Amino acid sequence: MKKARETGERQTTEVTTEDGKSLLISYVPVKDVEDNVIAISEISVDISSIKKKERRLREINRQYQYIFENSGDAILIVEADTRKIIQSNQRAVELYKYENKESLMGIPLEALLKSSPEDFRGKEIRIDADGSYIFTDKHKCKNGDIIDVEVKSRFIVYNNKNCYLYNIRDISESLHIEEEKLKAIMKQELDLAYSIQTSFIPAENPEFSNIDIVTYYSPSQLVGGDYFSFFQEDNKVGVIISDVMGKGLTAALVVGNIHSSFHTVKKFNYTPVKVVSILNDLLYNDLKDTALFVTVFYGLFDFEERVLEYSNAGHNPPIYWSAAKQELYLLDKSNIFCGIQANNDYSSYTVKFDKDDIFLFYTDGLVDIRNIREERFELRRLKEIIRKNNRLPAGEIKEKIIQAIESFSGRGQDDDISFVLCKIEG
């Protein structure tokens, strides 16, 4: 509180009470017309349940790392462009009879293949339910031994690089019982992480007056980094959508922070620029020592003024369809990502709307979908769907989008995909 009074800036801290509760306390300076601090407003929010979930997710992440290193399968991560090994587990070292993990790093994948790359691609391949490719092959060890293996491969993004993840099993040996137990633990814990995160995402489409809203959420892994939520008060409806630049449990932890922070600040009916500024400062404290950042868009529909006021922190530009003008527009005014710089100045923008206008808010996974020829779905296809189907109800437009991306892709999902489609009804 003293620092808030001295600096004239809001200060936020977390404290633990004697009875074990975790509280998020914000000290907000109240200023007079001459910008002098005349009082300090204290806002206290009980975040004990969120902290408990965060601890649980961290424990799941630790167990996930343990399973990676202690899996009965050899695991290789191979950079897609160079075809070189950039990560492995201890089992891979043992299977291929190398001295240590470092000695495997940087060697071409072809060094482990008995057959040529052309023969390798000609193998009979099965596609698993999760989009992975499964095939049998013969690999060679460093000492010249040839082993029969079953390979399961899938595309991933690892350390911001396009890679392939290979699970390689020596099929000359039977599976160990302990390995099955570890897999069961992994599935159980990931299922728990999934249930925690899905509790953050609205399970059903919200029902508000004057606006029809439909949503779509599909993480590429069991848990992901996309998030959206809503706010309503009087004649106003708020929509937030965000994307953590990452996947899996780490991204899920950040989503938990976004969820708790948004549901705290929305109670005060702040403007979009105020909400995004607060989220940025809170996320900066969590992400400043990491390579992670977050894109955030928050828009507030005012049905009395017929205006959407919004602030955008590096998020994909929403699509706006004007029914009166029969034209598509991109709300492409934006600012820096959240979590990179503290006390950043964000801007607020407005756009008028009317009956039958459409707004589509989405994450980058929607436009970055790739087909088997590595072509991107791109924004132009999304815009064309809106243009051709603008007279349909929101739910039917949503189905048109889903049909289009499923028909286009024909392969596993590389990134989380989310969108919120709003059609003005009154």
The CB density around residue 301, as the number of other CB atoms within 10 Å, is 24
- Tokens matching residue 403: 């049909």
Residue 175 has a pLDDT of 43
- Tokens matching residue 253: 């932890």
Tokens 């989008």: give the residue. Answer: 401
**β-pair type (236-244, 226-233):** antiparallel
- Tokens matching residue 371: 């087909």
15-25: buried (b, 16+ CB within 10 Å) or exposed (e) per residue? eeeeeeebebe
CA distance 333 to 318: 10
CA distance 281 to 114: 54
User: Please, what is the end-to-end C-alpha distance for the chain in angstroms?
Assistant: 46
- Tokens matching residue 140: 């060679």
Q: Which of 16, 25, 22 is closest to 43 using CA atoms?
A: 25
CA distance 333 to 115: 53
Beta bridge partners of 383: none
Do the beta carbons of residue 67 and residue 186 sit within 8 Å?
Answer: yes
- Per the document, the length of the chain is 426
Burial class of 269 by CB neighbour count within 10 A (0 to 12, 13 to 18, 19+): middle
Give me the long-range contacts of 353-356 (CB less than 8 A, separation at least 24). Answer: 353/301, 353/306, 353/307, 353/308, 353/320, 353/424, 354/306, 354/322, 354/323, 354/324, 354/424, 355/323, 355/424, 355/425, 355/426, 356/323, 356/390, 356/391, 356/423, 356/424
CA distance 205 to 249: 26
Q: Where are the domains of the chain?
A: 2-46, 49-70+182-198, 73-174, 200-424
Predicted confidence (pLDDT) per residue in 165-213, tens digit: 999 998 866 545 556 777 787 777 777 777 777 788 888 899 999 999 9
26 φ, ψ (degrees, to nearest 5): -115, 130
- Tokens matching residue 243: 């994307």
HEC profile for the chain? CHHHHHHCCCEEEEEECCCCCEEEEEEEEEECCCCCEEEEEEEEEECHHHHHHHHHHHHHHHHHHHHHHHCCCEEEEEECCCCEEEEECHHHHHHHCCCCHHHHCCCEHHHHECCCHHHHHCCCCEECCCCCEEEEEEEECCCCCEEEEEEEEEEEEECCEEEEEEEEEECCCCCCHHHHHHHHHHHHHHHHHHHHHHCCCCCCCCEECCEEEEEEEECCCCCCCEEEEEEEECCEEEEEEEEECCCHHHHHHHHHHHHHHHHHHHHHCCCHHHHHHHHHHHHHHHHCCCCCCEEEEEEEEECCCCEEEEEEEECCCCEEEECCCCEEEECCCCECCECCCCCCCCCCEEEECCCCCEEEEECHHHHCCECCCCCECHHHHHHHHHHHHCCCCHHHHHHHHHHHHHHHHCCCCCCCEEEEEEEECC
CATH 2.160.10.10 for domain 73-174: no
379 φ, ψ (degrees, to nearest 5): -65, -30
Tokens 């299977």: give the residue. Answer: 95
Residues of the chain with pLDDT under 70: 1-2, 4-5, 60-70, 115-123, 172-179
* CATH code of the domain occupying 200-424: 3.60.40.10
